[in-house]
Chain A
Amino acid sequence: MSSTEKRLLKEYRAVQKELAEKRSSIRDTGIVDLHPLEDGLFRWSAVIKGPDQSPFENALWRLEIDIPTNYPLDPPQIKFVVFGEEKIRQMQRKTGSGTRKVCYKMPHPNVNFKTGEICLDILQQKWSPAWTLQSALVAIVVLLANPEPLSPLNIDMANLLKCDDMTAYRDLVHYYIAKYSAYESNDV
């Protein structure tokens, strides 16, 4: 077992234990789910909840995580799972198959609207091997409540913030959550 795999197993074990508890600190940070995919330890999937007192409050998003072979020296690649309009409509038609209602669009100044890529310094050059997948996800949840309009990946959302039009910003986020959420299929 390589040191990377060993460390990932440790993280997996710690996270599973915490998620199994009904009231745990991991849930308070907004992490709803975090587990590796079937095909090994190097691809993970996560679900986060929008932070309280932000426009993203209470809605859920799914993230996919790719782990580089020399993790934790290199940061994990994390992005939001976003789909095109058509695919979301299809999923909405099959409603009731899953238990979790997830939003498949992420309107946020620091998230690429088309690809779901996230612009966050600690996921790039400021990454430290002392961080974990869990702490990286917490940073993403915090980013949702604290957008950084000066380094935007979504210029439209950033402009709303720069104009200080909080009503438009909040309503747009609510619109996307209402329109593009779907129950996810059980196989994810």
Chain B
Amino acid sequence: MATFTDPLDSITDPSDWADSSFPNLSKLDSLLRCHICKDFLKAPVLTSCDHIFCSVCIRRSLESDKKCPLCHEETYESKLRKVLLLDEISSWFTRNRPELLDKHRPTANNTPEPVAAPEPEKPAVPLRYESRKKRAAEEPLVECPVCSTFMSADELQTSHIDSCLANKRARPSPSRPVISSFFKKERTPQTQPEFVKKKTKITNLDPTISTNKLKEKLNYWNLPTSGTRHQMETRMKEFISMYNANLDSVNPVDDRVLINRLMKWEGTYSLSKTAGDTEEDGAQWRRKYQKEYDELIKQARANMNRINTKLDSTD
């Protein structure tokens, strides 16, 4: 089972918090996960029955069954609504999770199993630095009467007040840049970049589409037209799921990135494997029923012989 240990470290689940100093975080951890992929929500969407899944997960699922995986109520792709705020919350949590987990790690002597601590040990220096920072953050902040900056009382009294009084004019008041930087922020929360608004979702693939039309469609989206009809269909379907899900994301990527992901997906998962599987199934089937086949062949030969001898004798 050694093969599983390596990728396991990159796999997270809510129980990671169980040995932390704040085990309740496992609740938040599990709430932010998609019920289909069990990973953190990516581009979450709300169904008409008020359940939330990753956009790409629910789209793939609805392709085979038009029911909500949680309540089995009928749900349609057209009814899915994106929830940008949740996307932001989830990606924030994903980004900050390793650090949070690290900060809530119990002291070294009660972590006996290495499995429970996937994050690499931090060197002693940054740890001490962090604890100082943390201590500073816990102290109540006071306002400097000169420049109105907030800082710890300690810092204000020892160094800041003097320097602030000495070169008051040279020091720009930090309160003004705060306001301007607020307006200059990368992007207003809960909005998608402009280019997404120009795009519309691709409609689902009509299963009766002619192979030529399917190729045209693939060409239009710069996708390869190699492989069998089934492979092309699967490729187009997966691309539609990915493309539409991308439009539900608060941080959508370029189409070229999507095509890259699609190619990777094809490589690791479906097409090569499904092709291989049928061959393997065939081989397994043959092995399983070899005896019966042999028996049937024997019977058929015996019958042939009997008929032949009968014919011979009648002649």
Contact = CB atoms under 8 A, between A and B. Distances in A.
Interface of A: 1-4, 6-7, 9-14, 16-18, 20, 35-36, 38, 40-41, 69-70, 72-74, 126, 128-130, 132
A18 B61 contact: no
Contacts of B61: 73, 129
A130 B54 CA distance: 12
Nearest to B58: A129
Nearest to B116: A17
Given A38-B1, A129-B36, A130-B35, A70 B270 contact: yes
Interface in B35-93: 35-39, 57, 60-61, 64, 67, 69-70, 72
Interface stretch (B4-12, B173-181, B191-199, B296-304): B4-12
Contacts of A129: 35-36, 57, 61, 69
B149 interface: no
B269 A10 contact: no
A1 to B, nearest CB: 6
B111 interface: no
A7 B15 CA distance: 15
Interface string B1-36: 101100110011111001000000000000000011
B277 interface: yes
Given A3-B37, A73-B61, A128-B69, A9 B7 contact: yes
A72 B39 CA distance: 13
Given A128-B72, A129-B69, A11 B4 contact: no
Contact of B38 (A7, A36, A69): A7
A38 B8 CA distance: 15
Nearest to B34: A130
Contact of A12 (B4, B60, B277): B4
B217 interface: no
A137 B268 CA distance: 28
B293 interface: no
Nearest to A10: B38
Contacts of B39: 6-7, 10
Given A128-B69, A129-B61, A11 B38 contact: yes
Contact of A72 (B8, B36, B268, B270): B36
A97 to B, nearest CB: 21
B96 interface: no
B265 interface: yes
Contact of B13 (A3, A10, A70): A10
A44 to B, nearest CB: 12
